[in-house]
Amino acid sequence: MSPLRLIHGAAVLVAAGSLAVTLWTGLEDRGVALAFGTLIAVGELTRWSDAQERQAAPLGAAGSLSYALLGADAGRPAQHGAAQVVTVVLVAALLGAVPHIWSGGTPTADHLARRVLTVGFAALCFQPPYDNRVFASWTGPAYPLLLLTLLALTSLCGAVLAATLAHCRSGRPFGPLLREELRGLLGIGSAVCATGAVMALAVAVAGLWALPVFCLPLLLVQVSLRRYAAVRATYRQTIASLARATEIAGCTPAGHAHRVAALSLAVGRDLGLTGPELTVLEYAALMHDIGQLSLVDPVPAGATAVLPAAEQRRIALLGGAVVRQTGVDAAVAVVVERQADPCPEQPLAARIVRTVNAYEEKARDAGPEGPLHALEELRLGTADDYAPEVVESLARVLARPRGWRATVPADAGARRTGLSDPAPGWVTHG
């Protein structure tokens, strides 16, 4: 059985069992359940997908974890158990996900499976011991530390689940995906955990009135993150427009930069690049030919891979100078400048751009056998020009059933604003 089916099957079993127990025993503390359910549903309604933010629904996640770790309401012991926690979270998440399912904007199955399993883990670790008064002697700072510890363990479980789901969906190596998820826990993930713990403690003392008060900071953080994501999207669009300058000027074929960027990102993911490294790779791949704008005599068909090494380096240096003038990250200019250096001296991103650019130039308009012949030429050139590990990674990417084209947006006006965003059809976070 594949890990994807195992995770989905476990989530279905937990959800079905919790629903059956709740229907059999009845819903306890209906006011509390309604308040937390409303909070979770609102959080799901505001869910979004972005490659850099690790929680797609921070408010819903915080509300779910808070309900799982709720031991009292205004001093009165809470009556709900772990099964009711999972049931309320599942129903609220499904209600909040209806608009997303209807619009087809973001997938939901992986998101709900991860939410059910992580919340079930937190509730099972807390509710039975709390009902049996195991934590009765935990007073002072010990009790908040207990909640934070449980939240940290739950977050680690969520990171492993998210990395596993992404690995199954995309075929990317598990290790880099897990590192991405763990790195995300230091960002908004820590805010979600802190808010969940504070809401559970506040409701235990002040009652449900504490919910809107302590949700407000996380709402403000979410608004700020979405604005930041919009700024990054505009920045990406600007770079994509600069990359098209070589096509408009007739220096390179239409779509060449976009194809090189998409395939470079697929190879970068296969080789374990993450986060900022993929962003630099994307920008450098989009702008790798921009130095041709400075040439008096254009290169035929923009094919730089067949030029003498000295001419390739001159064009690469011209391109790096142009990139530096645009104000783009200096790391992007370094990759553009060094894409024509001797292979052993290049950084990994420059090796990827050089190899993918050569493949695209050799394979285009070469007929059905073009890709195969292009790969063979690259393998023959691994001694001096192309990194063997990059060429083999390129071969693996091209051999996958879905292929690297899954990373290319089907519509330039769609929601995805950058090639390094997750491909439509699967979600990794939240």
Provide the whole-model pTM. 0.75
Q: Which of 415, 423, 57 minimizes the C-alpha distance to 236?
A: 415
The pLDDT of residue 415 is above 50 = no
pLDDT in tens, 240-259: 888 888 888 888 888 888 99
Out of 3.40.50.720, 1.10.10.10, 3.40.190.10, 1.10.3210.10, the CATH code matching 244-407 is: 1.10.3210.10
**55 pLDDT band (50/70/90 cuts)?**
very low
Structure tokens at 3: 């890990």
The pLDDT of residue 401 is above 70 = no
Residue position matching structure tokens 């049996």:
132
What phi and psi, each to the nearest 5 degrees, are found at residue 413?
A: -95, 10
pLDDT in tens, 134-173: 887 877 788 889 898 999 999 999 999 998 988 888 777 8
The larger pLDDT score, comparing residue 210 to residue 51, is at 210
Question: For the chain, what are the domain ranges?
Answer: 3-231, 244-407
**429 pLDDT band (50/70/90 cuts)?**
very low
**260 pLDDT band (50/70/90 cuts)?**
very high
Predicted confidence at residue 334, as pLDDT, reads: 92
Do the Cβ atoms of 154 and 121 come closer than 8 Å?
yes
Q: Which of 110, 108, 118, 212 minimizes the C-alpha distance to 156?
A: 118
The pLDDT of residue 56 is above 80 = no
